[in-house]
Amino acid sequence: MNKILITYSTKTGNTKKVAAAISELNKGIELKDISEVTNLDYDLVVVGTWIDKGTADTKALKFIESISNKKVAFFFTLGAYPDSQHAMDCTKNITELFEKNNNTVVGHYHCQGAIDPQLIEFMKKSFGADHPHGPNPERIKRWNDASTHPDENDLINAKKAFEEIFKNF
Ligand SMILES: Cc1cc2nc3c(=O)[nH]c(=O)nc-3n(C[C@H](O)[C@H](O)[C@H](O)COP(=O)(O)O)c2cc1C
């Protein structure tokens, strides 16, 4: 197998969980927090990020912008539903960030991730139900639905997706 790096940015641990699950696929895979990456001497660089305002969070964004001419794959966790337009837009945004610097995206995966309870409290206190981030019934349901993710199934699906991707490496 070629050299594979899995690196992730995480605020509350969701993205790290997915990264750890994927890294179990093969002992040769290196798993690193994004702040610990010192070189990009790998055949495939896999970047995990949490979604902040519809794209990769600041740390992952900076890292992605520093990569060029590599084979890459990515995964992300987000508060929105995985089959939502928002999730599709995030996939598109992150793909474009990589492709801007001539990287080749060989695959990607995403799943829902529990939203920081402090942020939910903040949104409940600060916004009315008609605000774009306010606590209307639909949004409260989505926050509750996200709270159990990533779950066992998400991790199994992440492994399946990356097993396919790693076949070519
Ligand atoms: C400041 C902040 C901004 C966020 N922005 C979005 C967003 O734009 N879209 C979304 O679907 N989820 C958003 N989320 C939810 C996180 O992406 C989600 O909970 C993710 O799983 C957190 O991953 P982590 O535990 O690895 O930090 C946001 C969360 C925070 C704290």
pLDDT digits (tens, 9 = 90+) for 26-49: 888 999 999 999 999 999 999 999
> What distance in angstroms lies between residue 71's CA and the mean position of ligand 1's atoms?
26
Q: In this structure, are 80 and 160 located in the same domain?
A: yes
> What distance in angstroms lies between residue 169's CA and the mean position of ligand 1's atoms?
31
Check pLDDT > 80 for residue 100.
Answer: yes
Per-residue exposure over 73-92, b if at least 16 CB sit within 10 Å of its own CB, e if not? bbbbbbbbebeeeebeebbe
Q: What is the dihedral of CA 21, 22, 24, 30, to 10 degrees?
A: -120
- What is the structure's pLDDT at 118? 96
Q: In this structure, are 76 and 123 located in the same domain?
A: no
| Pocket lining: 116 vs ligand 1, CB cutoff 6 Å | yes
Q: In this structure, are 33 and 96 located in the same domain?
A: yes
Domain that holds residue 44: 4-114+149-166
Check pLDDT > 90 for residue 7.
Answer: yes
Within 8 A by CB and 6+ apart from 37, the residues are 5, 7, 63
> What distance in angstroms lies between residue 14's CA and the mean position of ligand 1's atoms?
10
The mean per-residue pLDDT over the stretch 68-91 comes to 98
Average pLDDT of the chain is 96
Work out which ligand 1 atom sits closest to the CA atom of 114.
19
Q: In this structure, are 125 and 156 located in the same domain?
A: no
> What distance in angstroms lies between residue 54's CA and the mean position of ligand 1's atoms?
9
* Nearest residue (CA) to ligand 1, atom 21: 113
Q: In this structure, are 85 and 158 located in the same domain?
A: yes
The whole-angstrom separation of Cα 19 and Cα 156 is: 12
CATH label of the domain that carries residue 84: 3.40.50.360
| Pocket lining: 13 vs ligand 1, CB cutoff 6 Å | yes
Confidence of residue 2 (pLDDT cuts 50, 70, 90): confident
Q: In this structure, are 22 and 86 located in the same domain?
A: yes
Residues forming beta bridges with residue 45, ordered by sequence position: 5, 72
Domain count across the chain: 2
Check pLDDT > 70 for residue 1.
Answer: no
The mean per-residue pLDDT over the stretch 134-143 comes to 95
Q: For 119-128, how does the pLDDT look when each residue is reduced to its tens digit (9 = 90+)?
A: 999 999 999 9
| Pocket lining: 4 vs ligand 1, CB cutoff 6 Å | no
